[in-house]
Amino acid sequence: MVRYRRNFLPGGTYFFTVTLSDRRSTALVDHVGALRDAFRAARRERPFTVEAIVVLPDHLHAIFTLPPDDADFSGRWRRIKGYFSSALIDAGLQLKRNSNSDLALWQRRFWEHTIRNESDFARHVDYIHFNPVKHGLVSRVCDWPHSSFHRYVRENVLPRDWAGDVREGGAKFGERPDR
């Protein structure tokens, strides 16, 4: 059996997928304000740059760049998850617990990929921004509110109509073309 090893690169840029344990949950979008606050609190403690992000009902994708002398992305996710979970408890939500009494809100691990170059970065940003369309939540990228896509539009990096409308044959990033 192959053992998975994380690539800890000080100052690295990483793509992440982080998921709730209940894939039917909508907690991330239902409490997106608390999630934003969790990110802000974690960034105050341990700075990092959010290059791109999309928050979906049960999972999120993000690209972070860490400071030049720091490779601890796991600690940052631990803080984000902890702040968000605490905020939900403080709001009166009853969160399930595992048999060891740990909160069962989040999947224990997350998936990470070290961004290798500009092309790899661009592909992952496109994947992030297109993800709500891929999951059938909207037909146009610009219609999903919980995405850094809107910042990219404000900064004139992408046009508002980027990727088109899937109802009109728009792009299908990460999907095989129809044959």
Structural domain including 151 reads: 13-168
Q: What is the pLDDT of residues 2-16, one digit of tens each?
A: 666 778 888 999 999
What distance in Å separates the CA atoms of residue 89 and residue 143, rounded to the nearest whole number? 30
Number of structural domains, the chain?
1
- Quickly count: other Cβ atoms within 10 Å of residue 152's Cβ: 18
* 3 falls within a domain: no
Q: Which helix (H) or strand (E) element contains residue 50?
A: strand 49-55
pLDDT digits (tens, 9 = 90+) for 122-179: 999 999 999 999 999 999 999 999 999 999 999 999 999 999 998 887 666 555 444 3
Give the residue-averaged pLDDT of 24-30: 96
Q: Does 148 map to a domain?
A: yes
Question: Using CA atoms, how far apart are residues 102 and 118, in angstroms rounded to an integer?
Answer: 39
User: In this structure, what token pair is assigned to residue 129?
Assistant: 């921004």
pLDDT given for residue 4 in this prediction: 61
Residue 35 falls inside a structural domain: yes
What's the pLDDT at 173?
57
CATH number at residue 84: 3.30.70.1290
pLDDT tens per residue, range 37-87: 999 999 999 999 999 999 999 999 999 999 999 999 999 999 999 999 999
pLDDT for 6? 79
Q: Average pLDDT for residues 119-124, to the nearest whole number?
A: 98
Q: Is there a domain that residue 104 lies in?
A: yes
Residue 174's pLDDT is what? 52
In a domain, 6, yes or no: no
Q: Read off the tokens for 25.
A: 């949950």
